[in-house]
Amino acid sequence: MTAEPLRALQDGFSEASRTCPGELIEQAFSVGGIAVRTQLLGTDLAHLLSRSLAQDDGTAQQPALTLQLWDEQATGVAPGSLPAQDDGIVKLGAAGEKLGFSEDGRFLFFSTPHFDIRLDRVEQQAVGWVRSHQRLMPWHRTRPLQTLFVPWLGDRRRIVVHAAMVALRGRGIVLAGPPRSGKSTTIAACAAAGMQVLGDETIAIEIRDNRVWGHCLHGAVKLRAQGLHRHPVPQGETEMLGAPWQEEAVVAFLDSAFPGQVVASAEIVALGFPHLVSEPATNASAMPPGQALRSLTGSVLSVEPGRVGSMFDAAADIALRVATYSVAIGASADRIAQGLTELLTE
């Protein structure tokens, strides 16, 4: 893989800009605590990102990534001929999803039959084409560019974990665990109770100034459709998902459903490992750091060869710096926020 595919996409973006200058929307987001400046051609594509990514409030750390994307359906501009990517692939996903790296690690590509995005990790620039925002899989509509962001954040000494995070006055707890351990239920209940939330699926963690910080990637929460009655989610703020989540709905607009509750960053003062219980109350009990480390490393997301070891080392450092708990998520949604508020105020 070389720079030629990226330059071809840059040419396509320039052509789309000339063809439809009125479609250009510029926005600024905070992704993993780092400013990302976007230039998006297509109002629906821009809306898709803005409803999920945290807005940059000016506190995100530099350096900033510049991301340029255009929607072929909105602009009428198709990409030029791009070389097939059969080398450097380290991940193959559903529906033809590919992720790969150049031999020197500088360039990254992320593609499916319906989009192609290239990242130059030296110039801090990403550019890509989307066939149509309507053709994207549910995963890409609700958590856009997550696979691309994981290695990019790793470059900036942040590890990304499969976890949720809630906070109270800037002090938060990360809840790391497998699917159906109560993370999404907790986020919805805490947001409804007025607590700060940073997402239910992925959290970026860094150690800075001898403190541990958590950062939002996506402000969306995925809930089971049959359990929505347990959560005071405003009507119109959920959308049904297709395969493989037929029985689930996603709150794709947390910031509009619970205005002011989504925050870009907060200090991590505790790590929690949730599990669902039949008792109504939510409570926590101390967990030994060694046991917590084993659970945390199982939640670390790393898609780049050669980086897993450093990610696990970072996880070990984090587990030794903050209090660690086993968190029993009770059956009463109304009491979840109470249990975590008591923990965070200890």
Tens of pLDDT, residues 89-116: 777 776 678 888 988 889 999 999 899 9
DSSP-derived 3-state class of residue 84: coil
pLDDT at residue 45 is higher than 90: yes
More reliable by pLDDT, 146 or 86:
146
Does residue 177 contact residue 183 with C-beta atoms inside 8 Å? yes
Residue intervals of the chain classified under CATH 3.40.50 are 159-344
| E-strand stretches of 209-345 | 211-216, 221-224, 238-240, 248-251, 265-276, 283-286, 300-301, 323-329
- Terminal C-alpha separation, the chain: 52
What are the strands of the beta sheet with 221-224, ordered from one edge? 221-224, 248-251, 238-240
Helix residue spans in 99-232 (DSSP H): 138-142, 146-155, 183-192
Tell me what the mean pLDDT of segment 55-78 comes to.
Answer: 89
pTM above 0.85, yes or no: yes
Residue 42 vs residues 19, 21, 24: alpha-carbon distances, Å: 12, 10, 7
pLDDT at residue 232 is higher than 80: no
Question: Which class is domain 159-344?
Answer: alpha beta
